[in-house]
């Protein structure tokens, strides 16, 4: 596993997708997270929130991809789903976290974090999302 790979909770199931950083792949990533959420008995609103959160995370990162690649890691255990979307970029600059996309992203997820880490002369730009089902938070 890469040094900067997202931490995966012990016992969690994981799917990692490495793909071209193009908008055409986003619907597939949205479908994967929706399928995971439905299988984990998330309610329909939470499923749709996760789909939109993955869409927003990809929208934030796709333009920054320097090598034309995007990695999306889904991990889940019980009522908790974690999604990490990352790209390598040429710059540490990124869209303002006060922007509309980031505000929407943080509203859709239980938690959201954006990190930028130097890596081999470039920068690993990553958005990590966590969504817990209502059963876990009530």
Please name which of 101, 124, 99, 102 lies closest in space to residue 113, comparing C-alpha atoms: 102
> pTM surpassing 0.95?
no
Q: What is the pLDDT of residues 78-127, one digit of tens each?
A: 899 999 999 999 988 876 666 788 899 999 999 999 999 999 899 999 99
- 3-class SS of residue 127: strand
pLDDT of residue 8: 61
pLDDT at 3 over 80: no
- DSSP H or E segment with residue 17: strand 13-20
Residue 37 and residue 50 in contact, taking contact as beta carbons nearer than 8 Å: yes
56 by DSSP, 3-state: which?
helix
Give the DSSP H or E segment for 118. strand 111-119
Report the percentage of the chain scoring pLDDT > 70.
88
């Amino acid at each position: 596993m890469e040094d900067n790979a997202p931490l995966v909770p012990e016992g969690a199931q994981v799917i990692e997708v490495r793909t071209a950083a193009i908008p055409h792949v986003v619907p597939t990533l949205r479908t994967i997270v929706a399928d995971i959420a439905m299988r984990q008995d998330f309610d329909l609103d939470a499923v749709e929130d996760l789909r939109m959160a993955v869409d927003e995370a990809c929208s934030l990162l796709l333009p920054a991809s320097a090598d034309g690649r995007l990695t999306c890691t889904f991990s889940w255990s019980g009522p908790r789903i974690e999604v990490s979307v990352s790209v390598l970029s040429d710059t540490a600059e990124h869209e303002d976290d006060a922007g509309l996309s980031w505000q929407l992203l943080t509203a859709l997820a239980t938690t959201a974090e954006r990190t930028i880490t130097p890596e081999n002369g470039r920068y690993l730009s990553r958005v990590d999302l966590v969504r817990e089902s209502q059963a876990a938070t009530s």
